């Protein structure tokens, strides 16, 4: 008899992310919307990243804190993210190493005001933080909170 798959088809990395999210929700409930606690969690998540991903996450952190200081740092499935006043994630970065992909992704949730007609991108593959990338991300974050 074959062993049944109780993982629901999730990979080990995905199961770990779900467990991380459950832990985050418990911690966030205890801390409330505490900016310092969120900032520490995000900085800790960035510190644990692989060097290439860390540079990207630090770049996003810098842009968001400068362009959208009202967004609250908060982890999202273990990934650095930033939430609105209601505690809902607006933008986050998924490290390439987290799911063993060839590039990191900067993602925007539906609270981001990136709407452009009937179709617009919400996820951006990123491999290197350059001045041009920083400029594009700055414009996207500014629009997302605008």
**What DSSP state is assigned to residue 16?**
H
Give the model's pLDDT for residue 33: 58
Q: Domains in the chain, please, with CATH?
A: 12-145 (3.90.1150.200)
Give the model's pLDDT for residue 18: 84
Q: Which residues contact 80 (CB under 8 A, 6 or more apart)?
A: 42, 45, 46, 57, 60, 61, 73, 92, 93
The pLDDT tens digits along the chain (146 residues) read 444 445 678 898 888 888 887 777 776 665 555 788 899 999 999 999 999 999 999 999 999 999 999 999 999 999 999 999 998 999 999 999 999 999 999 999 999 999 999 999 999 999 999 999 999 999 999 999 99
Give the model's pLDDT for residue 2: 45
Complete DSSP assignment for 74-114: EEETTEEEEE-TTS-EEEEEE-TTTTT-SSEEEEE-TTS--
At 73 the three-state DSSP class reads strand
Give the model's pLDDT for residue 32: 53
Task: Give yes or no for a contact between 136 and 62, defined as CB atoms under 8 angstroms apart.
Answer: no
């Amino acid at each position: 008899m074959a062993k049944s798959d109780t993982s629901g088809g999730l990979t080990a990395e995905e199961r770990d992310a779900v467990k991380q999210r459950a832990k985050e929700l418990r911690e966030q409930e205890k801390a409330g919307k505490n900016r310092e606690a969120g900032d520490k969690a995000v900085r800790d998540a960035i510190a644990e990243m692989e060097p290439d991903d860390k540079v990207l996450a630090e770049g996003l952190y810098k842009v968001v804190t400068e362009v959208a200081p009202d967004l609250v740092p908060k982890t999202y499935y273990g990934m650095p993210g930033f939430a609105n006043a209601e505690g809902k994630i607006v933008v986050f970065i998924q490290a390439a190493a987290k799911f063993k992909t060839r590039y990191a992704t900067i993602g925007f949730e539906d609270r981001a005001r990136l709407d452009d007609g009937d179709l617009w991108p919400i996820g951006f593959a990123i491999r290197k933080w350059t001045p041009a990338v920083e400029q594009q991300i700055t414009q996207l974050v500014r629009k997302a909170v605008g």
